[in-house]
Structure 1
Amino acid sequence: MTTQPLRFLRRGQTTTLHNVPPDRTLLQVLREDLGACGTKEGCGEGDCGACTVVLAEPHSDKPGTLRYRAINSCIRLAHSIDGMALWTVEDIAPTLGIGVSSLHPAQEAMVQCHGSQCGFCTPGFVMSLFGMYQNSTCQGQPISRTDAQEALSGNLCRCTGYRPILDAAQAMEHLPAVRIDEATVLQQLELLALTAPAQSADFSYKSPRTLAELTAARAAYPQAQIVAGCTDVGLWVTKMHKHFDSVLDVTQVDELRQTIAHADYLQIGAAVTLHDAYTALVASRPQLHSFASRFAGLPVRNSGTLGGNVANGSPIGDSMPLLMALGATVVLASQRGERELPLEKLYTGYRQNVMAADEVLAWIKVPHAGAEFMRVYKISKRFDDDISAICLALSLTTVDGIVTAASIGVGGVAATPVRAVQTQTALVGQPWSLATAHAAAAALRAEFQPISDMRASAAYRSEVMGNLLQRFWLESQGETQINLATFDVEACA
């Protein structure tokens, strides 16, 4: 079974590849087909960042400019970048003349700040720095230490050389500027779109542009593997060695790439990236910022989509507990129409859901923020770029000291993400007091029977759930010196 030609921009030229299998990764294409071995293969699961490259598309919110995203090429399917511009570590040095090139500020800063040790991770760090440079420095925005830490959260250095790499991130703006001719790249991307070959009747990798095309393809090929960023399906390819003859990619569907604010709710398309989806949520709920940045490293958030995370239904997926606590609903679409249901009603078992064979997840609807007090907690072995052992999201509304509404989502304690219905019931109608918090903590510990696995024991998970509810109580009372994120050493001296 053949595929459509894969076409993308690299080094100012169109690269065209034929007969690329639908489940071939971008990293495989770069290293094995194009000989671009500067992009390293490390973990093969989007964890270490050694394979980081940068993609660019026209910026939907800023016409006439490009939007740059650092992504993990090891778990990104190659066909998903069709029609985009790509940069690898070999591509960013400016050419000064025939056979003569200099270093890009991202590279020069790493040299000057001694940011490379063994060097294996260095290309990935350089590409994350390049993405920062294009999105921040070239826009006249200085890079703070916090900005650098968040943007580099998806890149791991096994030599523990983070301090000079963070120095390099801040040093880039002080070096001679190097700018991409975005007008030319945009013209080339437009030409690439206009000269795209007609969609083949042969189904191997389909990337519909409209919801109507998507639902038609889903009805015609219900056996196709749906991908929406591929940050989980990519692991099935690299770690489980699964093979897919047909792939249906939802990330280019125009309607599903939009975030729309309605009067009562925020409508997030299933193809909106995790980074953009959380940016929209944080805009009205600033307290979610830390959790959003810890959801995963930036390259994962740049590829993964909110709809993909929700539809995947992993019991340790972090989006679902939060969305449940927010009272989110999901809209499923097919050629037969649409239907809407509460998020918690989507799941029927481990990675199983109520979607029919011809349905796709189209939108997530999140009610606007009200007067509730809300927190979401992620407990993992590593602070950044790690999978949760427990994820707990709590939203509480009180009137005159009495709990009038409670909404709690939990991950990591059952076969699916779940709502803590019994604990919610125990809270509503009670005075919001320390005694109520203790009673609710006990109810939460008793409500679920988590398993023991490589991330945590069952006893640990149960104990931590209750402890987090008590932390929630303390934070509702204005306490701040209770976790490392807000701990002030000087204040306690």
Structure 2
Amino acid sequence: MTDTLHTHPLRFVRRGQTVTLHNIPPTRTLLDLLREDLHCTGTKEGCGEGDCGACTVVLGEERDGTLRLGAVNSCIRLAHSIDGMALWTVEDIAQPDGTLHPAQEAMVACHGSQCGFCTPGFVMSLFALYQDTQGQPIAREQAQAALSGNLCRCTGYRPILEAASAMQNLPRHSLDESTVRAQLRALADPKIKAAARKDKASSAYLAPRTLAELLRARAQHPRAQLVAGCTDVGLWITKMHMQFAQVIDTTQVAELRRIEHYPHHLAIGAAASLTDAFAALVADRPQLASFAHRFAGLPVRNSGTLGGNVANGSPIGDSMPLLIALGANVVLMSERGHREMPLEDLYTGYRKNVMAPDDVLAWIKVPKAVPHEFSRAYKISKRFEDDISAVCLAIHLTLDEGHIAAASIGVGGVAATPVRAVKTQAALQGQRWTQDTAHTAAQVLQAEFQPISDLRASALYRKQVLGNLLQRLWLESQGTANVNLENFAATGVAA
């Protein structure tokens, strides 16, 4: 297949110019393109799995008439996925005369760089934050959220957070957004794109722009690797050294990037980023804000998609327990038609599902919040953020005058797939919501699953945590404060 397939020219905007590159392999990462092909070595390779943030760059695209920027991990981002976008690396943000960008200057002034290896990634996350805040003051919590995907091995976080606040006090640096938008519109011109793809009847990297094109491509190329943000498949490439002769990228399908609001449910397109998807979920249920923040570092959420996380079906994927608890359905589509099912029915085994070779996960339908519901999602991991769960538990209760009218529970990290806690739901259904009920349900939950021991946690730990989390749910439902780190705030610093 590799002898007959070619890749279309890769075109993006950088440093005010349109860059056109030819013969880029379909599984070439953006980091390798920068460092090895373009010899731009300011962007560093740390972990190669989207975990440390040393490789952070910023991508820009026009959305609804505005330029939208976001920090992403270049180590697991496929190079062809930035076709038609604007790109900034740490080499690109200083002025032509060498004057540093405020994000860079603040890092220098606040002594935010120690060994320096992680510094380019931090600078690029700060650059995205700087553009997003448009000169407004930056609170420490806001800076921490923006830097959630960047790790400093030298433990230099204090001066880096100080730099985040200080950069707004430096002389303003303005990005010429109108020019960038004009360049992006030129790249999107159908005539220009057609000319760039002339004589390329079949491509090793397909990036359909409409749902009809995606379904047609999937029917014609059922063996091609489907990608959606590549935050998981990227690791197959960087860590397992897998290569794919042909890739179908779903992230440019216009219909699947939408989040549609209906009277009783949200319809989240499978290609909607995790950032956008969780923003919609949090807008409907504000209590999920902390869980959304902890899902992954911001660069991962900016690249990854909700549909990709669900379709991947990892037993430790965090979105699925939450969606199961909320009663979400998924819609599968192909040229043959579509079918809808509860999300938990999608999975048949470890990373296996009911999808046919020509099926595409198109939509996730999530019921909207209703009166008298009480929902919580808990993530247990070694790091507070930017880490994989040992256990994920999501619980959704509907209360009626102190009785549990309905109970829905999703669990991750305890079985080969994300699962619904059917026995625990039955133990809660119809009962009065009391401490005794919570205690009994906790015991049922601990006995319902037989988790394994692995590098993240022992089976005994996972069982114990499940019971403790249900007890925590009871305490939170009664208004008890200071039962979780999310609500903890330091009031002073010891001398």
TM-superposed deviation, 1:143 = 1.4
Equivalent residue number for residue 214 of structure 1: 214
TM-superposed deviation, 1:101 = 1.7
TM-superposed deviation, 1:323 = 0.4
Whole-Å Cα distance in 2 between the matches of residues 487 and 51 of structure 1? 31
Whole-Å Cα distance in 1 between the matches of residues 413 and 130 of structure 2? 37
1:227-306 matches, cutoff 5 A: 227-306=227-306
Equivalent residue number for residue 198 of structure 1: 197
**Inter-CA distance 489–231: structure 2 relative to 1 (3 Å threshold):** closer
Whole-Å Cα distance in 2 between the matches of residues 172 and 419 of structure 1? 47
CA deviations 1:389-437 (Å, max 9, x no partner) are 0000001111121111000000000000000011000100111111110
Quick one: percent identity of the two aligned structures? 70
Whole-Å Cα distance in 1 between the matches of residues 491 and 6 of structure 2? 64
Equivalent residue number for residue 182 of structure 2: 187
Whole-Å Cα distance in 2 between the matches of residues 19 and 303 of structure 1? 24
CA deviations 1:12-31 (Å, max 9, x no partner) are 11111111000000000000
2:33 to 6, 29, 36: 29
Whole-Å Cα distance in 2 between the matches of residues 409 and 113 of structure 1? 45
Give the TM-score taking structure 1 as reference length.
0.96
1:39 to 19, 38, 43: 43
TM-superposed deviation, 1:262 = 0.6
> Is 1:48 aligned with 2:45?
no
Is the 8 Å Cα contact of residues 380 and 391 (structure 2) preserved in structure 1?
yes
What amino acid maps onto 2:214 in structure 1? L
TM-superposed deviation, 1:490 = 6.4
Equivalent residue number for residue 10 of structure 2: 6
CA deviations 1:207-248 (Å, max 9, x no partner) are 000000000000000000000000000000000000111000
Equivalent residue number for residue 170 of structure 1: 165
Q: Number of residues paired by the alignment?
A: 482
TM-superposed deviation, 1:487 = 3.4
What amino acid maps onto 2:248 in structure 1? L
Is the 8 Å Cα contact of residues 334 and 359 (structure 2) preserved in structure 1?
yes
Is the 8 Å Cα contact of residues 265 and 366 (structure 1) preserved in structure 2?
yes
Gaps of 5+ in 1: none
2:63 to 59, 63, 82: 59
Please, what is the CA RMSD of the aligned residues? 1.1
Whole-Å Cα distance in 2 between the matches of residues 485 and 85 of structure 1? 35
Is the 8 Å Cα contact of residues 9 and 197 (structure 2) preserved in structure 1?
no
SS at match of 2:466: helix
TM-superposed deviation, 1:198 = 3.2
183-192 or 118-127: which moved more? Answer: 183-192
TM-superposed deviation, 1:489 = 6.6
Equivalent residue number for residue 343 of structure 2: 343
CA deviations 1:52-110 (Å, max 9, x no partner) are 000000023xx2x2000100000000000000000000000012xxxx22000000010
**Inter-CA distance 208–483: structure 2 relative to 1 (3 Å threshold):** same
TM-superposed deviation, 1:485 = 2.2
**Inter-CA distance 118–476: structure 2 relative to 1 (3 Å threshold):** same
SS at match of 2:485: coil
Whole-Å Cα distance in 2 between the matches of residues 400 and 231 of structure 1? 44
1:147-158 matches, cutoff 5 A: 147-158=142-153
Equivalent residue number for residue 117 of structure 1: 114
Equivalent residue number for residue 387 of structure 1: 388
TM-superposed deviation, 1:291 = 0.6
Whole-Å Cα distance in 2 between the matches of residues 198 and 258 of structure 1? 27
Is the 8 Å Cα contact of residues 481 and 488 (structure 1) preserved in structure 2?
no
TM-superposed deviation, 1:6 = 0.5
Is the 8 Å Cα contact of residues 480 and 487 (structure 1) preserved in structure 2?
no
Gaps of 5+ in 2: none
CA deviations 1:250-296 (Å, max 9, x no partner) are 00000000011011101100000001100111011111111101100
Equivalent residue number for residue 313 of structure 1: 313
Whole-Å Cα distance in 2 between the matches of residues 168 and 59 of structure 1? 29
Whole-Å Cα distance in 1 between the matches of residues 453 and 93 of structure 2? 46
Whole-Å Cα distance in 2 between the matches of residues 363 and 66 of structure 1? 26
